[in-house]
């Protein structure tokens, strides 16, 4: 590893895009609520979510670099029956697209929270402006530009949230106990599911399978793609854990609606800079997630329909533009209907176990993967991860349907 350290660092990119994607307003809020509500006791769920994400995303890069195909093409090749292929392709396509379209308004509103707090402007004024900036990134940017933007946002988030965790001097033994001794305190099961669910995201599988083709030159660079994935997602896990730890240390027992609440307890340490620091971190997290939603929809549709040209394809850019325009309009109107969000949650709850199982089946096809099929240990670890995320997906689906009916 040390011999190739320079090249490994230069290879960081696709994994950072995935990490920047899952650390959004939802993750920041969920981590804050988890720490405030249950202290350090749910840190193990963050650790598990990072292991699960690394395992699943490693399968994606291995599949993509060995076969030179995206995940969508590999899923299509798996089905010989045309009807079965049609059902799984279009169900996945519709589920991911509706999910991205439903969540984009919340992503933009979440991004605007930090800026709105600092500028004292309404969120539905700031959010559309951010949406237009992202629209321009989608229209005129390319993969390298997107990668640089996400890397910068990751650095900002890491600098702010990890530094915050260090300066408040949390209980180290409490952190170690929470991270490595799993417990589920009363009333915490939905929080556990949310902590894991905000990290293992279905459309990130498609973004990653597209991004590795843009960055790496075939299976000969698999080692560097793996290090990119491991390092990037681990850094994302540390950032997520830092938010939970900070909340557990500073505001345990309080009702939480936003990470901005961390600013008050931080003022004795950071002074008047506390709200600025937290707001900038929230803005960076929101912007990365808001960029990822239209990127996820475009990557998923492109891969499933076999569109060529990657992120420079006109069709890819068209999907990106449509999704972000939906977000600009809905965020300006403050339109975030609960029923649509519940439908999106239900669809994503269904699609996560389906995609995870399909990835596991594909990666074990000897005639496709050759010597790069899963080893016994990878199958044991991967199988446990797939079973767990499948359970979480089904639980999320049932919870969304129940909420939909009762609402």
Give the torsion through C-alpha atoms of 249, 255, 257, 262, to 10 deg.
-30
Q: What whole-number distance in Å separates Cα of residue 44 and Cα of residue 213? A: 33
Residue 287 token pair: 């912007």
Are the C-beta atoms of residues 123 and 112 closer than 8 Å to each other?
yes
CATH number for the domain formed by residue range(s) 1-406: 1.20.1740.10
Q: What whole-number distance in Å separates Cα of residue 274 and Cα of residue 268? A: 9
Backbone dihedral angles phi then psi of residue 187, each to the nearest 5 degrees: 80, 10
Going by C-alpha positions, the residue among 341, 55, 51, 57 that lies closest to residue 196 is: 51
What is the residue extent of each domain of the chain? 1-406
Where residue 306 falls (left for φ over 0; alpha for ψ -120 to 50; beta otherwise) is left
Q: Where are the alpha helices (DSSP H) in 141-221?
A: 143-157, 163-167, 172-180, 189-197, 202-215
Q: What whole-number distance in Å separates Cα of residue 395 and Cα of residue 104? A: 23
Per residue in 295-327, pLDDT (tens digit) is 888 888 888 888 887 777 888 999 999 999 988
Q: How far is CA 353 from the centre of its chain?
A: 16
Q: How many helices (H) and strands (E) does the chain have?
A: 19, 0
Per residue in 323-372, pLDDT (tens digit) is 999 888 888 887 655 555 556 666 677 788 888 888 889 999 888 888 88
Largest CA distance in the chain: 64
Q: What whole-number distance in Å separates Cα of residue 136 and Cα of residue 317? A: 11
State how far the alpha carbon of 39 is from the alpha carbons of 52, 246, 383, in Å.
23, 9, 30
User: What's residue 175's pLDDT?
Assistant: 95
Q: Count of CB atoms within 10 A of residue 375's CB?
A: 10
Residue 3 token pair: 């011999």
Are the C-beta atoms of residues 241 and 27 closer than 8 Å to each other?
no
Where residue 102 falls (left for φ over 0; alpha for ψ -120 to 50; beta otherwise) is alpha
Which residues, at least 6 apart from 319, have a Cβ–Cβ distance to it below 8 Å?
Answer: 97, 294, 297, 298, 301, 302
User: What's residue 343's pLDDT?
Assistant: 63
Q: What is the pTM of this model?
A: 0.88
User: What's residue 275's pLDDT?
Assistant: 77
User: What's residue 344's pLDDT?
Assistant: 64
Enumerate residue ranges in the chain where pLDDT < 50.
none
Helix (H, G, I), strand (E, B) or coil at 218: coil
Are the C-beta atoms of residues 130 and 25 closer than 8 Å to each other?
no
User: What's residue 331's pLDDT?
Assistant: 82
User: What's residue 32's pLDDT?
Assistant: 87
User: What's residue 57's pLDDT?
Assistant: 93
How long a stretch of residues is the chain? 407
Are the C-beta atoms of residues 365 and 127 closer than 8 Å to each other?
no
């Amino acid at each position: 590893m040390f011999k190739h350290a320079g090249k490994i660092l230069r290879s960081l990119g696709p994994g950072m895009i995935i990490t920047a994607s899952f650390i959004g307003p939802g993750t920041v809020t969920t981590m804050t609520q988890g720490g405030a509500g249950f202290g350090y006791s749910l840190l193990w769920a963050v650790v598990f979510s990072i292991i699960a994400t690394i395992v699943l995303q490693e399968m994606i890069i291995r599949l993509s670099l060995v076969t030179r195909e995206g995940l969508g093409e590999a899923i299509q090749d798996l089905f010989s029956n045309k009807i079965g292929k049609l059902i799984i392709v279009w169900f996945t396509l519709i589920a991911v697209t509706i999910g991205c379209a439903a969540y984009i308004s919340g992503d933009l509103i979440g991004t605007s929270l930090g800026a709105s707090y600092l500028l004292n402007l309404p969120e539905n004024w700031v959010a559309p402006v951010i949406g237009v900036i992202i629209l321009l990134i989608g229209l005129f940017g390319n993969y390298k530009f997107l990668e640089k933007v996400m890397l910068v946002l990751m650095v900002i988030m890491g600098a702010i949230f990890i530094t915050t965790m260090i300066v408040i001097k949390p209980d180290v033994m409490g952190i170690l106990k929470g991270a490595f001794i799993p417990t589920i305190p009363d009333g915490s099961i939905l929080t556990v599911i949310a902590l894991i669910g905000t990290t293992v995201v279905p459309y990130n599988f498609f973004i990653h399978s597209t991004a590795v083709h843009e960055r790496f030159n075939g299976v000969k660079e698999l080692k560097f793609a793996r290090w990119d994935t491991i390092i990037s997602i681990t850094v994302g896990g540390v950032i997520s854990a830092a938010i939970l730890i900070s909340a557990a240390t500073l505001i345990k027992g309080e009702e939480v609606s936003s990470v901005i609440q961390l600013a008050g307890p931080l003022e004795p340490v950071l002074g008047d800079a506390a709200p600025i620091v937290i707001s900038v971190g929230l803005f960076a997290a929101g912007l990365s997630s808001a960029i990822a939603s239209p990127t996820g929809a475009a990557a998923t549709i492109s891969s499933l329909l076999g569109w060529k040209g990657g992120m420079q394809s006109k069709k890819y850019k068209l999907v990106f533009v449509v999704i972000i325009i939906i977000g600009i309009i809905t965020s300006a109107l403050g339109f975030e209907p609960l029923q649509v969000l519940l439908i999106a949650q239900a669809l994503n709850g269904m699609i996560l176990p389906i995609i995870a199982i399909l990835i596991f089946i594909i990666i074990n096809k000897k005639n496709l993967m050759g010597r790069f099929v899963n080893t016994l240990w990878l199958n044991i670890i991967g199988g446990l991860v797939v079973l767990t995320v499948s359970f979480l997906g089904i639980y999320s689906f049932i919870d969304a349907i129940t909420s939909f009916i009762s609402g």
